[in-house]
Amino acid sequence: MKIKSFKSLSFNIPFLFVISYTVIAIVIVFTVYFRFEHRMINDYTKMARGLTTLMANSYDTDLTEEYIEKNYNMPEYLELLKYYYNLKDNYPDVLYMYVYRFEKTDPALATVIIDLDEEYTDHPPQDSIDWIGETYTVDEPFASEMDTMLKGKDPVVHTVHTKDHQFLLSYVRPIVDKDGNYLCSACVDFSMDDVHSQDLMFLIGLMSVLGILMFMILWINIRIVQRKITRPLSKINRCIESFSYETESDRFENLNRLEELHLTQNDEIGSLFVSFVANMKESLYYMSNYNQAIGEIEYKNKELEDISKKTYKDPLTKVNNKAAYENDLATWNDEIQNGFNNIGVLLMDINNLKYVNDTFGHDKGDLYIQGCCKILCDTYKKSPVYRLGGDEFIVLLGEDDYADRDILFEKATAAYEASYLNQDAQPWERYSASIGMAILEPGDTLNNIVVRADKAMYENKVIFKNKYGTYR
């Protein structure tokens, strides 16, 4: 029952709605989210571009070495430092501002010129002063772009996840001298953690609104689909499942059950239901006539079968008669034409039938014919046997009997001889017959095989008469 429910429209259509609306909601939310985040990154990139431009414009390119050597002991350095701190105060999302020189002699290193890591003070701690002029190893992703930064042409910008789980937007602008030669880089890092927090809150709010809205729309759509589609179809389906087709009255009862549903909705399902009921009525009418016709046909076929049996069966021995043999000749000749080689013929002629008829009457003669035929039929069980005349029979060897033809021939000959030599039996029960066999040879027709079998049969009849003489 569970498997069936998963295949029903009443389950699949609401399930399809839920999946579709969920996919749409996810696509909308993440599209808006990524679009919003992309917009925020662009905005911070623009701010970083403006901030580093101000940093570069205020930087005296002729004093780089003095900045490194004298730093806090140099009025110009302190003036520049105050200006940078003022810039930082005007950009609250700036986490770090610094000026580094990426070394041409060793592109993996950068020398610190200015680093606004702490709050501004006229008397910084010694470790902050010692840090000026020190070098550090450049990390990825900037290490891979050292060549670009040393050329001093284009700014380099990346979003970076730090080891302490900070998410930064880092912007590196080259500072060049009046001849366009690279001196150092103005760098700024914006914290993107707040952006992510804002994005997450926006995402949660958007998902909540979309979830409520889509749930309401989904519920309304499912209710409409249930009322207009799945419930009517379920009623029809349950009704059809209860149908029985054993008798004609069962079919009429099926129609009554269907009409009792009273589906009158004015839509495609209603039209299909009306058409279905009309077709069932029409089918019942034709089925009733059909069953009547079938009964008449079966009766006629029975009559024809009885006539056919009478036409193609020998009334005395119940084997096929000469008409059946002539009717089957075409099939056997076709087999020969189509290259079927396993074809053989056996002819049987009853011995002393005239003697039995003349001496004991035709009733005993009929019993004598039936006995001789029974030995032949018992021996060749898998082949058609035909009675061609009063005392003459022919067997068209089937494939299995053809394979065992020599064994069966000896078996039939021995059976007739044993019956003939049975002195305890009545004269009309001492069955005797001469048989001859021939098989297909290259270029043969069935008629040629019959002629050779007939010749062999008469040769055996002569042998019988020479051995036993006349009957008795």
Q: Let me know whether 12 and 83 are in one domain.
A: yes
Q: With 50 as the cut, is the pLDDT of residue 450 above it?
A: yes
Query: Looking at the chain, how many residues does it have?
Result: 472
Whether the CB-CB separation of 130 and 117 falls below 8 Å is answered with no
Q: Which of 67-81, 291-305, 376-390 has the lowest mean pLDDT?
A: 291-305
The model's pLDDT over 368-395, given as tens digits with 9 standing for 90+, comes to 999 999 999 999 999 999 999 889 999 9
What pLDDT band is residue 470 in, cutting at 50, 70 and 90?
Answer: low
Q: From 253, 282, 312, give the residue that closes a domain.
A: 312
The most confident of 103-117, 293-307, 393-407, by mean pLDDT: 393-407
CATH code, domain carrying 74 = 3.30.450.20
Q: Let me know whether 77 and 128 are in one domain.
A: yes
Q: Let me know whether 340 and 297 are in one domain.
A: no
H helical segments located in 120-192: 126-131, 146-151
CATH code, domain carrying 396 = 3.30.70.270
Supply the pTM of this predicted model.
0.43
Task: Find tokens 């209710």 and name the residue.
Answer: 223
- Does residue 206 belong to any structural domain of this protein? no
What is the count of structural domains for the chain?
3
User: Six-digit token pair at 397?
Assistant: 């060897």
CA–CA dist 18, 7 (Å, integer): 16
* % residues pLDDT > 90 (the chain): 35
- Does residue 220 belong to any structural domain of this protein? no
- Does residue 455 belong to any structural domain of this protein? yes
Query: What's the mean pLDDT in 95-101?
Result: 90
The single-letter code of the amino acid at 183 is: L
Q: Let me know whether 281 and 397 are in one domain.
A: no
Q: With 60 as the cut, is the pLDDT of residue 426 above it?
A: yes
Q: Let me know whether 370 and 255 are in one domain.
A: no
Q: From 289, 312, 335, give the residue that closes a domain.
A: 312
* Other CB atoms within 10 Å distance of the CB of residue 388: 18
- For residues 33, 39, 42 and 46, what is the CA-based torsion angle, rounded to 10 degrees? -140
CA–CA dist 197, 192 (Å, integer): 9
The most confident of 92-96, 97-101, 309-313, by mean pLDDT: 97-101
Output the pLDDT for position 120: 59
What pLDDT band is residue 128 in, cutting at 50, 70 and 90?
Answer: low
Q: Let me know whether 389 and 438 are in one domain.
A: yes
In the predicted model, what is the mean pLDDT of the chain? Answer: 83
Output the pLDDT for position 2: 44
The 8 Å CB, 24+ separation contacts for 122-130 are 122/78, 124/72, 129/71, 129/72
Interaxial angle between packed helices 362-379 and 353-360, expressed in degrees from 0 to 180 and rounded to the nearest 10: 150
Q: Let me know whether 408 and 264 are in one domain.
A: no
Domain that holds residue 72: 6-198
* Other CB atoms within 10 Å distance of the CB of residue 169: 23
Task: Look at 129 and 382; give whichever has higher pLDDT.
Answer: 382
Report the sign of the C-alpha dihedral through residues 179, 181, 186, 192, in that order. Answer: positive
- Does residue 176 belong to any structural domain of this protein? yes
